[in-house]
Amino acid sequence: MIHPLQPITEADFGLDIALAYATADNFTGRPVYRPDAGCWLNGEAAAMLRRTVELALPLGLRLQVMDAFRPAEAQWVLWNHTPDPGFVADPRRGSPHSMGAAVDLILRDAATGRALDMGTAFDEFSPRSHHGNQEISPEAQANRHLLMGLMTTAGWDFFRNEWWHYQLFNARARHPVLSDSVLGGDGMMPR
C-alpha cells in the first residue's frame, strides 16, 4: 500500500527511537500504541529530521524521538484523557502529529548515551516545560536553546509550551489529518 508517510528507523536516520505512547511511560499511564508501533513522518518532515541529525552529529549529540506520526485515533485517546489545549491538540482541529508533520524529541550525548538535562521530563504539562522558562537550571536552559537551534536551523517551527515538540510551518493548511488505517498492516493502534 502506498501512503504519504515514510518509516523513520534508527539505522537509516542515525538516531534513537523510544515511542513514549507505545509504553505506559507517558501521561496517560498506559500504552496508546501497539508495543511494536513504527515511527513515521511525511516526506518533508523526514527530510528535515535527517538534516537535524546531520547538524547534531558534529556536536557529539544524538536525537531520540519520543513521538512522530500519531494517528487521529490516538489523538482522541490523549484528548479524552487530558483535554488541555495548552498541551494536547484538540483532535477536532487536528494535530500536526496526526499529519506526520511533527516530532517530539530529546537530546542525548552521542558518546555516553546520557540524556541531556532539559529541566523537565518529556510530557510534563506545566509552565516549566515552556520555551524560555527560567525556573529551570542554566544547564537545562542551554540544552533547550541548543535543541531549538538545531531544529530551527533545519527548518522546523516550535510550539512555545513544549520544549520537546517541533512541527512543520503551516502544517494544518498543507497536510491532511491521517487515520491509523493509512498504514495498512503496519498500523500503530492496538487491534
3 pLDDT tier (thresholds 50, 70, 90): low
1 pLDDT tier (thresholds 50, 70, 90): very low
178 pLDDT tier (thresholds 50, 70, 90): very high
Furthest CA-CA distance within the chain: 48
The third-level CATH classification (topology) of the domain covering 5-186 is: Muramoyl-pentapeptide Carboxypeptidase; domain 2 (3.30.1380)
Over range 94-108, report the average pLDDT: 98
The size of the chain, in residues, is 191
103 pLDDT tier (thresholds 50, 70, 90): very high
Q: Name 132's Cβ contacts closer than 8 Å, sequence gap at least 6.
A: 160
Give the model confidence (pLDDT) of 4-22 as tens digits. Answer: 899 999 999 999 999 999 9
Rounded mean pLDDT of the chain? Answer: 96
Residue ranges of the domains in the chain? 5-186
Over range 27-33, report the average pLDDT: 97
Over range 90-109, report the average pLDDT: 97
Catalytic residues: 162
pLDDT at residue 72 is higher than 50: yes
Over range 81-88, report the average pLDDT: 95
